[in-house]
Structure 1
Amino acid sequence: MVEVEKIITPTAGPVEGTILVDGSSTVAPITQAVAEEFQKVYPEVRVPVGISGTGGGFKKFCNGETDISDASRPIKPSEVELCQKNGIEYIELPVAFDGLAVMVNPSNNFAACLTVEELKKIWAPEAEGVITNWSQVREGFPNQPLTLYGAGTDSGTYDYFTAAIVGEEGSSRGDFLPSEDDNVLVQGIAGDPNALGFFGLAYYEENQDKLKLVAIDNGDGNCVLPDLTTVSQGTYQPLSRPLFIYVNRARVDQKDEISLFIDFYLKNAGQLSKEVGYIPLTDEIYQLAQKRYDNRVTGSIFEGQGSTIGVSLADLLAKE
């Protein structure tokens, strides 16, 4: 049983209602864990959590269909435009850190570490139909087919991975097996001896008996595996990233239960994110996020530019 801090309700009488959440499959386990504990304190509030990917979640959110959107990257220009078109203002709140895990099948005994340049060689658009064998990735790798698995194109994980590895968000070869459901990717990689794939670290942690983690060399000659320390300290680069929730500003005034949920989320996200395999933010960042919510600061600290590599959340939030 996780001990969480009960938030005192500011309203008279019992709190009830439904908070609609959708979006990132990466952020979903954190939000689901928070919702489960929240509903123990406020059993009359329902918090269903959908998983349609970061992009799919923003489509619903910017169309006014949801109250909160889970996102594994910051909102990007096309989504900002859609929200503006529909009059949706949003409060952006960071909730945890994550590392993108690169994985192979457990039978793979040669790809223990890959460089960012090798990953780019594999995933760049021009690799489609060209880089199809492990022997083409590095001299000395075996002559065996290369099968690729990755987050679906509606996923913030896909957006961040392509921005970090290829250099342009949403730019990659198309001949890979995509899914917004990370469990589908787990099964694919686990069942394919030729596989290489990527998704959020938490899903690797849940399935590490079926998968083999690949270390990443960002060009400095050091092979680094993602874990709580390397992600939180920023030594696992360029595949460490912050995770977010976005709150519909207008709904905050319409539904008291949303503010209760957000207060509860930010007070307990550090502990609960760790419980489900993610990396907590610092206390300072959670306090700055709470201040951002209390002041109802709308917009993105990333200025609506989408995936941004190697930035400091604390610095960006402190500017406000």
Structure 2
Amino acid sequence: MKKNKILLISVLILNLLSSCAPKVKEGYDEKLGYSGNISISGAFALYPIVVLWSEDFKKLHPHVRFNISAGGAGKGIADVLTNMVDIGLVSRDLHPQEIEKGALPLFVAKDAVLGTFNANHPDAALLKTRGLTQAELQDIFTGNKYKTWRDIDRRFSNTAIGVYVRSDAAGAAETWAKFFKLSQEDLKGVGIFGDPGLAQAIKDNTFAIGFNNINYVYDLKTQMTTPNIAVIPIDKNKNGKIDPEEDFYSNLDELIAAVADHKYPSPPARDLAFVIQKNNASKLIKEFIHFVMAKQQQGYLLENGYVPLTDKQIELEFEKIHTP
């Protein structure tokens, strides 16, 4: 709960400071570096690392002001297409109509959406060794088949499944639904706003199940899952157990390696992107994007729960912002 409060307070403080601060004229000085304002909004998945990137960028360019808010991928793409912000944070594939309106995605990292459940569930040990198949998860999140845990497996407790989904237009929800070849609207359950809220709802209900981005499941310092939340292993080969090659959830490093090596399915592994309006990025925005793509900042991703891009991927993203 404390982590969620800190995140929400950070969002409010950043918005308050930016709304009160006067606009800084954009420019560049050899001694002072860049100056100007950068506004960013969108996916909860990218919010934590973008705050860190902005702090590092300001160390080099102290006259740059940032306005960063987390409101979901849907808000990020809407804000950038209506010129409310310079950069939208998006954690899903762009829709064709968004591309037609001039949205340009620049991939900056990779992460994954994880199926999550309450760690105090009476069948937690069995869930971790048995796992759930893609089909079982689909039936849970569409409400088509299972109402109690015992409906899934007779060894499970005869208690109602508490299904939680996202109430906001979220990249995590769309990516989780895409795992089942569905859309976010097809997911059924109690709607909760935001990643922090959904994680807390799962922690508060012993029989809950949901989904979250990596950074709201694992503690970056201990590398272990945060208290009262656990990951649902995916039984990829459908043999009723989690085999050694499917077992990579015990700590954050193992999971990130599995995402990078494509052992964890994609989706729900997914690309994370900055979205700008095509041919409408200022020199300051391009400089910040270059900064984020730099090897030092990409290396920073691993220790913060993300998977960095390869050198070839970075090269391709650079070409996007330099192609007329």
User: TM-score range, shorter-chain basis?
Assistant: 0.7 to 0.9
Corresponding residue for 1:137? 152
Q: Is the 8 A contact 1:93 1:246 kept in 2?
A: yes
Percent identity over the alignment is: 23
Corresponding residue for 2:134? 116
Q: Is the 8 A contact 2:177 2:187 kept in 1?
A: no
Corresponding residue for 1:191? 204
- Counterparts of residues 249-264 of structure 1 (less than 5 Å): 249-252=278-281, 255-264=282-291
Quote how far apart the aligned CAs of 1:11 are: 4.2
Q: Is the 8 A contact 1:163 1:169 kept in 2?
A: yes
219-228 or 155-164: which moved more?
Answer: 219-228
Corresponding residue for 2:303? 275
Corresponding residue for 2:312? 284
Q: Is 2:104 the counterpart of 1:91?
A: yes
C-alpha distance in structure 1 between counterparts of 2:312 and 2:99, whole Å? 27
Q: Is the 8 A contact 2:120 2:228 kept in 1?
A: no
Q: Is the 8 A contact 2:165 2:189 kept in 1?
A: no
Q: Is the 8 A contact 1:99 1:200 kept in 2?
A: yes
C-alpha distance in structure 1 between counterparts of 2:189 and 2:210, whole Å? 13
Quote how far apart the aligned CAs of 1:143 are: 0.2
Quote how far apart the aligned CAs of 1:138 are: 2.4
- Structure 2 runs not aligned, ≥5 long: 1-26, 220-224, 250-254
Quote how far apart the aligned CAs of 1:151 are: 3.1
Quote how far apart the aligned CAs of 1:61 are: 1.3
Q: Is the 8 A contact 1:270 1:281 kept in 2?
A: yes
Corresponding residue for 2:188? 174
Q: Is the 8 A contact 2:45 2:91 kept in 1?
A: yes
C-alpha distance in structure 2 between counterparts of 1:19 and 1:148, whole Å? 38
SS where residue 217 of structure 2 aligns?
helix
- What amino acid does structure 1 have at the position aligned with 2:149? W
Instruction: Using CA pairs under 8 Å that are at least 6 residues apart, name the structure with larger relative contact order, 1 or 2.
Output: 1
C-alpha distance in structure 1 between counterparts of 2:173 and 2:309, whole Å? 22
1:58 to 77, 101, 110: 77
When normalised by structure 1's length, the TM-score is 0.79
Quote how far apart the aligned CAs of 1:286 are: 1.5
Corresponding residue for 2:323? 295
Cα 1:63/1:160, change in 2 over 3 Å: same
Q: Is 2:172 the counterpart of 1:154?
A: no
SS where residue 270 of structure 2 aligns?
strand
Question: Would you say how many aligned residue pairs link Structure 1 and Structure 2?
Answer: 275
153-162 or 143-152: which moved more?
Answer: 143-152
Q: Is 2:178 the counterpart of 1:163?
A: yes
Q: CA RMSD in A?
A: 2.2
Quote how far apart the aligned CAs of 1:220 are: 5.1
C-alpha distance in structure 1 between counterparts of 2:98 and 2:44, whole Å? 18
Quote how far apart the aligned CAs of 1:139 are: 2.8
- Counterparts of residues 210-221 of structure 1 (less than 5 Å): 210-219=228-237, 221=239
Q: Is the 8 A contact 1:216 1:225 kept in 2?
A: no
C-alpha distance in structure 2 between counterparts of 1:114 and 1:271, whole Å? 33
C-alpha distance in structure 2 between counterparts of 1:136 and 1:269, whole Å? 47
C-alpha distance in structure 1 between counterparts of 2:114 and 2:163, whole Å? 14
C-alpha distance in structure 1 between counterparts of 2:204 and 2:65, whole Å? 37
Q: Deviations over 1:117-149 (max 9, x none)?
A: 11011012x53xx63311122232110121122
Q: Is the 8 A contact 1:190 1:210 kept in 2?
A: yes
- Counterparts of residues 61-72 of structure 1 (less than 5 Å): 61-72=80-91
C-alpha distance in structure 1 between counterparts of 2:104 and 2:97, whole Å? 17
Q: Is the 8 A contact 1:95 1:269 kept in 2?
A: no
Ranges of 4+ aligned residues in structure 1 off by more than 6 Å:
none
Q: Is 2:285 the counterpart of 1:234?
A: no
C-alpha distance in structure 2 between counterparts of 1:295 and 1:281, whole Å? 20
Q: Is 2:264 the counterpart of 1:245?
A: no
- Structure 1 runs not aligned, ≥5 long: 1-9, 297-320
